[in-house]
Structure 1
Amino acid sequence: MYRWLILSLTAYFIAHWTYLSTHSLLPPDCGEAAQIALESIFPKIVVSLLLLDIERLISLARSSGFDIHISRCKI
Structure 2
Amino acid sequence: MYRWLLLSLIAYILAHWAYLSTNTTDLPDWGNRSQIALEFIFPQILVSVLLLHIERLIPLALSCGSDIHVSRCKM
Q: TM-score range by the shorter chain?
A: 0.5 to 0.7
The share of aligned pairs that are identical, in percent, is 64
In the alignment of these two chains, the number of paired residues is: 44
If asked which structure has higher relative contact order (CA below 8 Å, sep 6+), I would say 2
Question: Which residue matches 1:26?
Answer: 26
Cα distance in 2 for residues equivalent to 1:27 and 1:39: 20
For structure 1, the residue ranges without an aligned partner over 5 or more in a row are 45-75
CA deviation vs aligned residue, 1:23-70 (integer Å, no higher than 9, x gap): 0111000000000001101248xxxxxxxxxxxxxxxxxxxxxxxxxx
In 1, Cα distance between equivalents of 2:4 and 2:42:
21
CA RMSD, Structure 1 to Structure 2 (Å): 1.4
Distance 2:40 2:17 in 1: 12
Instruction: Quote the Cα distance in structure 2 between the aligned partners of 1:27 and 1:33.
Output: 11
Find runs of 4+ consecutive structure 1 residues off by over 3 angstroms: none
Question: For residues 42 and 13 of structure 1, what CA distance do their matches in structure 2 show?
Answer: 14
Q: Normalising to structure 1: TM-score of the pair?
A: 0.55
Unaligned runs of 5+ in 2: 45-75
